[in-house]
Amino acid sequence: MQALYFAYGSNLSSARMRQRVPSAVTAGTARLAGYRLTTDKAGRDGTGKANLRRVAGESVWGIVWRLDIATWPTLDACERGYERIQITLEGAVVSAQTYLSQRLTDDPVLAADYKRFLVEGAREHRLPPDWISQLEALPTR
């Protein structure tokens, strides 16, 4: 049995995602309405990580991955500090799951290698140019 996962952070990168869940298959791009991308999730390395905040009128672009439901525990273990939530993606009545964190940092600066996963993944999957520019503008340490 399979389920859909909406990736908006480092799991945009196919290489990163396949390291974590080798059987993951890209199901396309999508937009999540009613949320803003932030980098305020506190990472174990002291840097910020991608996160979501509810904000009316905003949206977040990402990738939809098709996962075998038996692989969720593996991905959950990689996403420590996040909780998995159910979402509905814009443009279709498509239900998926994603991660959101309440464990926040006051210093939402990304590590350069983490940001590279976001930007390269967005380019790889041909997300909109303005979204890629927004990711490229994120501050790094």
Residue 139 lies in a domain: no
Which range marks the domain in which residue 89 is found? 2-130
Residue 137 lies in a domain: no
Confidence (pLDDT) at 117: 97
Q: How confident is the model at residue 105 (pLDDT cuts 50, 70, 90)?
A: confident
Q: State whether residue 124 is helix, strand or coil.
A: helix
Residue 55 lies in a domain: yes
Residue 141 lies in a domain: no
Residue 54 lies in a domain: yes
Nearest CA among 94, 89, 32 for reference residue 57:
32
User: How many structural domains is the chain composed of?
Assistant: 1
- Per-residue pLDDT, averaged over 89-113, amounts to 87
Residue 140 lies in a domain: no
For residue 39, is pLDDT > 80? yes
Distance CA 105, CA 61 (A): 23
Q: What is the pTM of this model?
A: 0.94
- Per-residue pLDDT, averaged over 82-105, amounts to 88
Residue 120 lies in a domain: yes
- In sequence order, what are the residues at sequence separation of 6 or more whose Cβ sits closer than 8 angstroms to the Cβ of residue 78? 20
Give the CATH number, domain containing residue 65.
3.10.490.10
Residue 37, judged by CB atoms within 10 A of its CB (0-12, 13-18, 19+), counts as buried
Residue 28 lies in a domain: yes
